[in-house]
Amino acid sequence: MKPKLSIVKIGGNVIENSSSLSQVLELFSKMENHTILVHGGGKKATELGNRLGIKAQMINGRRITDAASLDIAVMVYGGLVNKNIVAELQSIGTNAIGMSGADGNAIHAHKRPIKDIDFGFVGDVDSVHGENVSKLLIAGFTPIFCALTHDGKGQLFNTNADTIAAELAVGLSSNYETTLYYCFEKKGVLREVSDEDSVIEHINSESYKELLKNGVIADGMLPKMHNCFYALQNNVHQVCIGNESMLSNTSSKYTRLTL
């Protein structure tokens, strides 16, 4: 029987709100079995860039990462956000260790190919070295991954944090029964965007097609759902979407996804 592993990805609005972040980290620290946390930090990167005179460039809601923006991302994701999370987890008894894809050669990526848009130093994941990450888990560490990867040739990349979480879940699924949690400010996937309590509590492949067809799942939720089903189709045990309450055993509502 495989040991259990929970991978929790926290959204930008959680990171922005210090009380929400503290609450999430408190619940995360109490989760049983092995755990990994994944975070981004795009809003804080935009804020620091503005202070330094480096404006964020966005096309269709996606960030363009030129050389200056990559420097900002490394400073914010790998430094400011990551180390504050690690320090807070240490203060509540979790032996956290800050990670990027370059650390321990954990996550290899390549520069996203130029089609209609050149996204700059944005990386698409090639592989996760699960054995290297597993060594940290076995040693009693809790890895805290930021949204950075590398190509093995010295180049860092800005990489979508939802994707990193899914790829880690897949990469570790051969050795662990892995559950992936996408934790953000909503209670789950909503049937009505204006109704915070209209949580769809279970979605499988068939109901997902219907929700897409009817336009219930659209816009920003589409790439997140793509990552969810990619993970499920590649041996991840279960995927959950909701707010911090789903990380405890007392959660009343959240969305659970299965095949």
pLDDT score of 250 more than 80: no
pLDDT score of 161 more than 70: yes
Judged by phi (left if over 0) then psi (alpha if -120 to 50, else beta), residue 98 lies in: beta
For residue 171, the surrounding DSSP H or E stretch is helix 161-171
* 158 in a known ligand binding site: yes
Rounded to an integer, what distance in angstroms lies between the CA atom of residue 78 and that of residue 140?
21
Rg (CA), the chain: 18
Query: What does the pLDDT average to over 92-119?
Result: 97
What pLDDT, on the 0 to 100 scale, is given for residue 233? Answer: 97
pLDDT score of 39 more than 90: yes
Structure confidence at residue 219 as a pLDDT band (50, 70, 90): confident
Tell me the whole-structure pTM to 2 decimals.
0.96
One-letter amino acid of 9: K
Structure tokens at 154: 């010295």
Domains of the chain, residue spans: 4-257
Structure confidence at residue 218 as a pLDDT band (50, 70, 90): confident
pLDDT score of 61 more than 80: no
pLDDT score of 142 more than 90: yes
Q: What is the pLDDT of residues 229-246, one digit of tens each?
A: 999 999 999 999 999 999
Other Cβ atoms within 10 Å of 248 Cβ, number = 12
Q: Topology of 4-257 in CATH?
A: Carbamate kinase (3.40.1160)
Mean pLDDT, the chain, integer: 95
* 62 in a known ligand binding site: no
* 49 in a known ligand binding site: no
* 41 in a known ligand binding site: yes
